[in-house]
């Protein structure tokens, strides 16, 4: 599921990959308008499945962080208001879901974006963050020893 959900640098919100055009991607907003538009090669487009967050030891896939938020919030929208929360509140929130996050490389804007994206996914009933892992579990070559 996260493979087809996209973030575009410089554009707010999240987008769903609908189709691939000749020189563009056809995307649709994840809001009530469901507006479709092209995303071109010049746009910095990234799949949520390709995003990770820094910790003191390694990078943690966004999928795991979203699942931790989902457990903390019982599958509901995040209780914290990302628009008005202070820096300390945002860091405390992320500390609950990702205790060893790298405080030097994760900024308040990153945490705000994380909470905003989580709420958008919950509002659109896109809550199966591990879907891709289920599909590939049996295909791992290292497991065939």
Extents of the domains making up the chain: 2-48, 52-132
Compute the mean pLDDT over every residue in the chain, rounded to the nearest whole number: 88
Q: How far apart are CA 95 and CA 15, in angstroms?
A: 27
Report the top-level CATH class of 52-132.
mainly alpha
User: pTM value?
Assistant: 0.85
For residue 6, give the DSSP letter. E
Compute φ and ψ for 54, nearest 5 degrees. Answer: -75, 135
Fold topology of 2-48: SH3 type barrels. (2.30.30)
CA–CA separation, 144 vs 22, rounded Å? 39
How large is the average pLDDT for residues 105-124? 95
Q: Other C-beta atoms within 10 Å of 78: how many?
A: 19
Q: Read off the pLDDT band of 17 (50, 70, 90).
A: very high
Adjacent-strand bridge partners of 71: none
């Amino acid at each position: 599921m996260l493979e087809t959900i996209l973030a575009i640098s410089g554009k707010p919100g999240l987008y769903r990959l609908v189709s691939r055009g000749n020189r563009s991607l056809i995307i649709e907003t994840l809001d009530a308008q469901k507006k479709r538009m092209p995303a071109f090669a010049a746009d910095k487009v990234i799949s949520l499945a390709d995003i990770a967050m820094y910790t003191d030891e390694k990078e943690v896939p966004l999928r795991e962080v979203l699942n931790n938020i989902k457990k903390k919030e019982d599958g509901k929208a995040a209780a914290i208001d990302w628009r008005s929360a202070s820096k300390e509140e945002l860091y405390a929130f992320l500390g609950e879901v990702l205790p060893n996050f790298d405080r030097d490389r994760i900024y308040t804007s990153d945490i705000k974006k994380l909470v905003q994206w989580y709420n958008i996914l919950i509002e659109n009933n896109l809550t199966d963050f591990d879907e891709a892992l289920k599909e590939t579990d049996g295909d791992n070559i290292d497991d065939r020893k």
